[in-house]
Amino acid sequence: MRPWLSIVGVGEEGFAALSPAARTLLEQATLIVGGARHLALIGDTAAKRLQWPSPLSDAIPQILVQRGEPTVVLASGDPFFYGVGDLLSRHITSEEIFCVPSPSAFSLAAARLKWSQQDCALISLHGRAFERIAPYLQPRARIIALSWDETTPARLAEYLDARGMGDSRLHVLEHLGGPNERVRETRAKDFRFNEVAALNMVAIEVQAGSGARIIPLAPGLPDDWFENDGQLTKREIRAVTLSALAPRKGETLWDIGAGSGSISIEWMLRDPANRAVAIERDAERAARISRNALALGVPDLRILTGAAPQALAGLAPPDAIFIGGGADGQMLQSAWSALPGGARIVVNAVTIETQALLSQNYAEKGGELIHLQISRARPVGRFHGLDPAMAVMQWRATKP
């Protein structure tokens, strides 16, 4: 099928700045779809107009009715970079779509600041949880973020200052590419800007103080970073467990008996595309997992309150499963059955009874069975000695 849906990127200068090809598409369209701002930017046309509803997906049926008729969807800058292009391509084949992008807001911001885009983290806080920025706050990092609204710059400044990064430089860029463009700079701790435009971006040059809360790139966050009631896979065991789970980009983990959520949170921290389901029968612990996920920058962690194996029903198949406490024979069998071929399972056990189950599963299904022992120095009178924590047996296997 020939393309009938054109997605046209529009900048702040509107119709006048569009290419001849984009102008022709608008002139030939029978329907133009866009936000109120976009529709105002292109001025009067003969085509019917449809303003995006909320949610945007509600407009899809009205767009599909146009199939075969010249239709234009207006977008900001590059429609396939945090834009509406992704939504449309889920419902319309690539052969039916023609795209005419304009410079993205990220390109304009980088050009104004003279920053190399390939050296920056480019993220969106528009329509997404604010806390997702936390893992990107690394020393000397440069971040360019799409704002949710006029409150985002002040909120970011406060967030940085509270995490020991108050010396970070914030650049607030408003109405980029248009006659009302404005670029201002300040330190996070000194933020005092008033009347920030709703259409803005924030660029951050991270400066971290000595006590700054920086989320490390390696697994094994400090134990006291997790709110917990003692149900926590300790730091050293957690690092070994994440290594055994071997997360890869875009994979999904089931964390059964999640406790404080430390394993699923660190799984998601390995890559922004990773997903996890934290399954916890205790409602109070489930609420605690939610708070930990927000604090550590993975607000998209799915939390399921319920007991396994019943709670596993209806979940999409995982790429890996972790069981950290209270495993029994039925749970292990259900978890193994849920694994597709090539997926991994890791189970930790401290009780003799559960360790016996792991030995049995190792004998039946193979994999590896290892013993982990961590000791910490404790005062012994005027001296110190190594005090061993409870030993952990770990079974790890890949399903054929």
Q: What pLDDT, in 10s, does the model give residues 145-175? A: 999 999 999 999 999 999 999 999 999 999 9
The answer to whether 276 and 252 have CB atoms below 8 angstroms apart is yes
Together in a domain, 288 and 378 = yes
Q: pLDDT for 216-267, tens place per residue?
A: 999 999 999 999 998 899 999 999 999 999 999 999 999 999 999 999 999 9
pLDDT of residue 365: 97
Residue 86 has pLDDT above 80, yes or no: yes
Position 89 in a domain: yes
The fraction of the chain above a pLDDT of 90, given in percent, is: 94
Residue 120 confidence (pLDDT): 98
Task: Examine the domain organization and report whether 274 and 382 are in the same domain.
Answer: yes
- Write down the pLDDT at residue 263: 98
In a domain, 213, yes or no: no
Q: Domain with 12 in it: what CATH number? A: 3.40.1010.10
Of 102, 121, 149, which closes a domain?
102
218: in domain:
no
Q: What is the Cα–Cα distance from 258 to 233, expressed in whole angstroms?
A: 9
- Statement to judge: residues 197 and 237 lie in one domain: no
CATH number of the domain within which 146 lies: 3.30.950.10
Domain containing 172 equals: 106-205
Q: What is the mean pLDDT of residues 199-215?
A: 95
User: Which pLDDT value is given to residue 16?
Assistant: 87
Task: Kindly report the CATH number assigned to the domain that includes residue 346.
Answer: 3.40.50.150
Instruction: Give the chain's mean pLDDT.
Output: 95
Residues 125 and 93 in one domain: no
Say if 120 falls within a structural domain: yes
Do 116 and 76 share a domain, yes or no?
no
Domain stops at, among 177, 205, 233: 205
Q: Looking at the structure, do residues 322 and 235 belong to the same domain, yes or no? A: yes
Domain-embedded: residue 211? no
326 and 177 both lie in a single domain: no
Cα(300)–Cα(311) distance, integer angstroms: 19
**257 and 160 within one domain:** no
Task: Verify that 288 and 333 share a domain, yes or no.
Answer: yes
State yes or no: pLDDT of 127 exceeds 90: no
Same domain flag for 364 and 334 = yes
Q: In the prediction, which pLDDT does 266 show?
A: 98
Domain-embedded: residue 88: yes
User: In total, how many domains does the chain have?
Assistant: 3
On whether both 98 and 118 belong to a single domain, the answer is no
Assigned domain for 15 exists: yes
Cα distance between residue 158 and residue 170, in whole Å:
11
Kindly tell me if the per-residue pLDDT of 326 is higher than 80.
Answer: no
The reply to whether 177 falls in a domain is yes
Dist CA 233 CA 324 (whole Å): 7
The number of angstroms, rounded, from the C-alpha of 21 to the middle of its chain's C-alpha atoms is 36
Question: Are 230 and 155 within one domain?
Answer: no
pTM of the full structure: 0.91
pLDDT tens sequence across 329-343: 999 999 999 999 999
Task: Mark which of 37, 72, 102 sits at the end of a domain.
Answer: 102
Name the pLDDT band for 325 (thresholds 50, 70, 90).
confident
